[in-house]
Structure 1
Amino acid sequence: MTESRRAAQAQANSAAWAETLADLEARRARSRAMGGADRLATHRGGGKLDARARIERLLDPGSFRELGTLVGGEVAADGIVAGSGEVDGAPIMVGAEDFTTVAGTIGAGSNSKRYRIAELALRNRIPLVMLLEGAGFRPGKHGGRSPTDLIAQARCSGQVPTVAAVLGPSAGHGALVAPVCDFRIMSRHGAIFTAGPPVVKESTGEEISKETLGGPGVALPSGVIHNVVEDDAAALDTVRHYLSYFPSSAWSYPPSRAADAEPRPTPELLEIVPRDNRRVYDMRAVLDVVFDDSDWLEVQPNFGRGIVCALAHLGGHPVAVVANQPQVMAGSIDSDAADKAAHFIMVADAFHLPIVFLADNPGMLPGSRSERDGVLLSGARMFTAQTTATTIKLHLTLRKAYGFGSMVMSLLGFDDQVATFGYPGATMGAMSAGALSRAAKADAELSDRLHDAELRASFNSAANLGFDELIDPRETRTALLGALRHGLHRRQAAAEPVLRTAILP
């Protein structure tokens, strides 16, 4: 073939492709337009980002690769924008419901996309993030024997990190995505419910707003949502922050970061932690001093507030912190706090985050209301979660740890801790000296003896190796960091998912 004929053939080929590629681009453009200019303007006017802008804010710039762009045909992306991208250079799968397109409802195509991104997250061993704002299944568009996306998502549990952000009203099937995820965050615009106000009105006659039905004021106390932030941007930034502590999957270890890893004294703790057990202090101030910086992330700060659950760094290594909060009920552990901690411990264990227990509690919360709330069941759930955890465990008793409250905080012999520490003067036992005196109707002399024995408890325990060591509060960071470094030497084989043999009660 002559050069001129080759040029003519190439030109003809290009011309033949032009019409097809123009059609492809037109279809892509229709999908990218989502619900159209008017609906997008209304959506953004409410102070929210649209689905594509949410993905852009979440991911590293230019990293998004869409999947199923043309699914739905005339219904843009069939109501969900989905694909892969990167967060801080690490790959993830992401789906964002598009409320401007048929209210973000789920059709056959979007159900398949939701299943596909969860399937790929597990297959490729990378996190799954779902950005929710939708009205559930589309009327008349479901049924039959097609697989539900929740099957694939449930299979991700404990295998890859899963996160849900509720950024608007989320109802029905779509709302079920959130509680299946490890971490759930909501903006002030969010609401989550089994069925929305119209269905509630039709079913029960109750007239109720979205906010009253499932807004932050309901979703936080119920435990359905972990954290609430002001807007979309803050929610997406928090998702990035959360993922920074985790490995891509249970087949790898959490990523360490460059940090000032040198041991350092913590004299500030002498001012923060009162010597008198009856005085309160904020455990969060202890975390600020002990861990690498104050940029740690608290999970469920407004639920079960007697325990602080946080993600932090110690010597550059991601750790999960479970700490009693003396500011709340003197650090007593109620049902909500135990349930929160149990879930947090299981997530940390699944992804090989070392757990640091900071104990300062008078025990499980007593009383008729606490018993009606099922404090024993919740305490058993937390105990089972922590004692079956296979990850590195470190324990420190700051001032007190009594009864079952000490056991759920891993102050227990032969519980596979890498290290157990206590401050001198820490008190422990089945119950406090004051409670024991009242229970025994002790006279003044016996009460004094019981109180004196309580004050010697830490030294008596250390004399029998109840603690590996009693430490000066100024040695706290140094002791925990040294123990963590030794514990990390166990990572001489490839990481694997946790094999769970216990059923949580």
Structure 2
Amino acid sequence: MSWQKEVDELQRRKALAAELGGPEKVERQRQAGRLTARERIDAMADPGSFHEFGEIAGASRYGDDNELESFTPSNFLFGRATIDGRPAVVSADDFTVRGGAVDAAIHRKLVEAKLLASEYRMPLIRMIEGTGGGGSVKTLEQSGYSYIPEIPGWDRMVSNLSEVPIVSLGLGPVAGLGAGRMVMSHYSVLVEGQAQMFVAGPPVVAAVGEKRTKEELGGAHIHAANGAVDDTAESEADAFAKTRRFLSYLPSSVHELPQRRETGDRADRTEDWLIEAVPRNPRSLYKVRPILEAVFDQGSLFEIGKRWGTAIVTAFARLDGWPVAVLASDPMALGGLWTADTARKVERFVDLAELFHLPVVHMVDNPGFMIGLQAERDATIRWGCRTLTSIYQASVPWCALIMRKAYGMAGSAHANASRFHWRMAWPSGDWGSLPIEGGLEAAYKSDLEKADDPEAELAAIKARLDAVRSPFRTAEKFGVEEIIDPRETRARLCAFAETAQRALVPGPRSFGYRS
């Protein structure tokens, strides 16, 4: 006897699930310029590679004859797929069903997506659009009871952060638990003008007397500047492209090592203009990103967190095909001074490099921590010391290239001083406990007071100190291991990246990753 009847019923239910929240709501989603959940999955995954789990899970209503009368699919879709040929777990919120509210998602599906990623060691991609955990206060009357808040599967969300790459894309309004899911990731993106993120949306905020539009309250411009998200995208397609790019530098889990890719860029390529990249005038600024483009594999630089903690550039790149994590001072932002935000940005990025076994290249022009009343109010020293802690806890290979300044405690964050010093400096190197310009007049106050011509005496003292602080004097004492021609930088860094592979060990780190 055939099971054709049941197979036909299965196909009918799959067809109902494919309708999402129904034609009217799907059309409303498209009119707003946003893709549907299934369209997003198709755009993110390699063609034909997505296999869904729980496709026909949802809310059903049966008649007296026990026949299905209506069906509303779960508004959380997930499954396995490949992205650029590599296995991944892909999930998407369906805004057409109850505005993406998590209580319409079937919590077990959310947990299963996390378990699939962790147990089978695959990256997890979340495409998020929704109103949060409980949907609406109307749910209280519909359910007939309330509850003490808890988040099923949050423990797995925490542990996954220390096991597999996690990417979260905000593709529409994201509030409450949706916002929490956004930031619990290694890389998060909001689509400009289309996606916003908030603890509570404008209607709830208005109830406490603050009237804001969605964009005013939680637009991408706000969260990219405060570090709540790592990046912005011009469109959904741009967000998907950035996701693929981010994942390309990482292993599928902490149990593997990042893979080399052929870039076609010679390791011995030189750029003659690097010899004058740093101005001789120590007060003159220069742009660091062209330097990065010159020394890393062409087209491989992928910057993360560009709009916050702007005194430091954090990026992935490749050296002779090997993926590395890049820290680079940006003198164009506050002269490279580290603020509390800069320190937090460095800490998080170092932890990311440590987690996924990426060698670090730190290109340094750091005059120290920001000083003044605001810096003290921001607890800069606390966040700076946390950053130093992350650097001293990191075990991945580390290469420091001192382009110009390295002063004070922040300057000491160029590397872990207790490890092998894979360290180089350009002839423009300038270092010490504090810049002489900041302490000269105080240190030589009595000499200047006695001098017949204080200005001439000050100039003479400065000339003497300039001679003593020459990087060659430091190299004589083995205080810096190498001074190199800036034009040799790429070849030296490629040699580091090649040698670094000998010291990389797959596996989990000794402590967990915090978002």
- Superposition deviation, residue 438 in structure 1: 3.1
Structure 2 counterpart of 1:339, which letter?
A: R
Are the equivalent residues in 2 in contact too, given 1:158–1:351 (CA < 8 A)? Answer: no
Q: TM-score, normalised by structure 1?
A: 0.91
Corresponding residue number in structure 2 for 1:273: 278
Structure 2 counterpart of 1:432, which letter?
A: P
Are the equivalent residues in 1 in contact too, given 2:162–2:513 (CA < 8 A)? Answer: no
Structure 2 counterpart of 1:294, which letter?
A: G
- Superposition deviation, residue 340 in structure 1: 0.8
Query: SS state of the match for residue 189, structure 2?
Result: strand
Structure 2 counterpart of 1:497, which letter?
A: P
Q: Distance in 2 between matches of 1:132 and 1:303?
A: 23
| 1:414-451 Cα distance to aligned partner (Å, 9 max, x none) | 2444x100012411001111112133254343554345
Instruction: Tell me: CA distance 1:431–1:96, structure 2 relative to 1, closer, same or farther (3 Å).
Output: same
Corresponding residue number in structure 1 for 2:115: 119
1:50-65 equivalences under 5 Å are 50-65=36-51
Instruction: Tell me: CA distance 1:445–1:59, structure 2 relative to 1, closer, same or farther (3 Å).
Output: same
Q: Distance in 1 between matches of 2:345 and 2:320?
A: 26
Query: 1:27 aligned to 7, 10, 13, which one?
Result: 13
Are the equivalent residues in 2 in contact too, given 1:434–1:451 (CA < 8 A)? Answer: no
For structure 1, which runs of at least 5 residues remain unmatched after alignment?
Answer: 1-12
Is 1:427 the counterpart of 2:398? The answer is no
Corresponding residue number in structure 2 for 1:200: 205
Instruction: Tell me: CA distance 1:200–1:482, structure 2 relative to 1, closer, same or farther (3 Å).
Output: same
Are the equivalent residues in 1 in contact too, given 2:351–2:513 (CA < 8 A)? Answer: no
1:384-403 equivalences under 5 Å are 384-403=389-408
Query: SS state of the match for residue 56, structure 1?
Result: helix
Instruction: Tell me: CA distance 1:502–1:465, structure 2 relative to 1, closer, same or farther (3 Å).
Output: farther
- Superposition deviation, residue 298 in structure 1: 0.8
1:177-192 equivalences under 5 Å are 177-188=181-192, 189-192=194-197
Are the equivalent residues in 2 in contact too, given 1:119–1:153 (CA < 8 A)? Answer: no
Structure 1 counterpart of 2:129, which letter?
A: E
Are the equivalent residues in 1 in contact too, given 2:75–2:104 (CA < 8 A)? Answer: no
Are the equivalent residues in 2 in contact too, given 1:384–1:502 (CA < 8 A)? Answer: no
| 1:355-376 Cα distance to aligned partner (Å, 9 max, x none) | 1000012111111111111111
Are the equivalent residues in 2 in contact too, given 1:423–1:473 (CA < 8 A)? Answer: yes
Q: Distance in 2 between matches of 1:76 and 1:448?
A: 82
- Superposition deviation, residue 243 in structure 1: 0.5
Q: Distance in 2 between matches of 1:266 and 1:453?
A: 32
Is 1:469 the counterpart of 2:482? The answer is yes
Give runs of ≥4 in structure 1 deviating > 4 Å: 140-147, 501-504
| 1:199-249 Cα distance to aligned partner (Å, 9 max, x none) | 2233x1322221112111322233211111111111111111100000001
Are the equivalent residues in 1 in contact too, given 2:267–2:320 (CA < 8 A)? Answer: yes
Are the equivalent residues in 2 in contact too, given 1:164–1:177 (CA < 8 A)? Answer: yes
Corresponding residue number in structure 2 for 1:246: 250
Q: Distance in 2 between matches of 1:155 and 1:481?
A: 34
Q: Distance in 2 between matches of 1:461 and 1:441?
A: 23
Corresponding residue number in structure 2 for 1:481: 494
Instruction: Tell me: CA distance 1:101–1:452, structure 2 relative to 1, closer, same or farther (3 Å).
Output: farther
Q: Distance in 2 between matches of 1:291 and 1:233?
A: 26
Are the equivalent residues in 1 in contact too, given 2:81–2:89 (CA < 8 A)? Answer: yes
Q: Distance in 1 between matches of 2:461 and 2:203?
A: 66
| 1:300-338 Cα distance to aligned partner (Å, 9 max, x none) | 101011100011111101111011001111111111111
Are the equivalent residues in 2 in contact too, given 1:272–1:285 (CA < 8 A)? Answer: no
Query: 2:441 aligned to 438, 452, 458, which one?
Result: 438
Are the equivalent residues in 2 in contact too, given 1:261–1:316 (CA < 8 A)? Answer: no
Taking only the aligned residue pairs, the percentage that are identical comes to: 32
Corresponding residue number in structure 2 for 1:296: 301
- Superposition deviation, residue 89 in structure 1: 1.1
Q: Distance in 1 between matches of 2:331 and 2:377?
A: 23
Q: Distance in 2 between matches of 1:176 and 1:104?
A: 14
Query: SS state of the match for residue 107, structure 1?
Result: helix
Query: SS state of the match for residue 132, structure 2?
Result: coil
Is 1:364 the counterpart of 2:369? The answer is yes
Are the equivalent residues in 2 in contact too, given 1:427–1:454 (CA < 8 A)? Answer: no
Are the equivalent residues in 2 in contact too, given 1:433–1:451 (CA < 8 A)? Answer: no
Q: Distance in 2 between matches of 1:448 and 1:329?
A: 29
Are the equivalent residues in 1 in contact too, given 2:29–2:35 (CA < 8 A)? Answer: yes
Query: 2:465 aligned to 447, 453, 476, which one?
Result: 453
Corresponding residue number in structure 2 for 1:90: 86
Is 1:309 the counterpart of 2:314? The answer is yes
Are the equivalent residues in 2 in contact too, given 1:321–1:357 (CA < 8 A)? Answer: yes
Structure 1 counterpart of 2:128, which letter?
A: L
Structure 2 counterpart of 1:258, which letter?
A: E
Aligned length: 485
Instruction: Tell me: CA distance 1:274–1:362, structure 2 relative to 1, closer, same or farther (3 Å).
Output: same
Structure 1 counterpart of 2:511, which letter?
A: R
Structure 2 counterpart of 1:467, which letter?
A: V
CA RMSD of aligned residues (A): 2.2
Structure 1 counterpart of 2:405, which letter?
A: K
Q: Distance in 1 between matches of 2:390 and 2:159?
A: 20
Query: 2:508 aligned to 485, 497, 500, which one?
Result: 497
Structure 1 counterpart of 2:461, which letter?
A: R
Are the equivalent residues in 2 in contact too, given 1:288–1:294 (CA < 8 A)? Answer: yes
Q: Distance in 1 between matches of 2:302 and 2:492?
A: 22
- Superposition deviation, residue 406 in structure 1: 1.2
| 1:41-87 Cα distance to aligned partner (Å, 9 max, x none) | 22122222111111111111111110111121346431111111111
1:226-241 equivalences under 5 Å are 226-241=230-245
Query: SS state of the match for residue 261, structure 2?
Result: coil
Q: Distance in 2 between matches of 1:501 and 1:174?
A: 22
Q: Distance in 1 between matches of 2:496 and 2:286?
A: 26
Q: Distance in 2 between matches of 1:71 and 1:30?
A: 11
Are the equivalent residues in 2 in contact too, given 1:280–1:326 (CA < 8 A)? Answer: yes
Q: Distance in 2 between matches of 1:360 and 1:432?
A: 12
Query: 1:159 aligned to 163, 176, 180, which one?
Result: 163
| 1:98-122 Cα distance to aligned partner (Å, 9 max, x none) | 1111111112653211111111111
Q: Distance in 2 between matches of 1:249 and 1:98?
A: 27
For structure 2, which runs of at least 5 residues remain unmatched after alignment?
Answer: 61-70, 449-455
Corresponding residue number in structure 2 for 1:4: none
Q: Distance in 2 between matches of 1:381 and 1:448?
A: 40
1:73-152 equivalences under 5 Å are 73-74=59-60, 76-107=72-103, 110-137=106-133, 138=135, 139-140=139-140, 143=147, 148-152=152-156
Corresponding residue number in structure 1 for 2:66: none
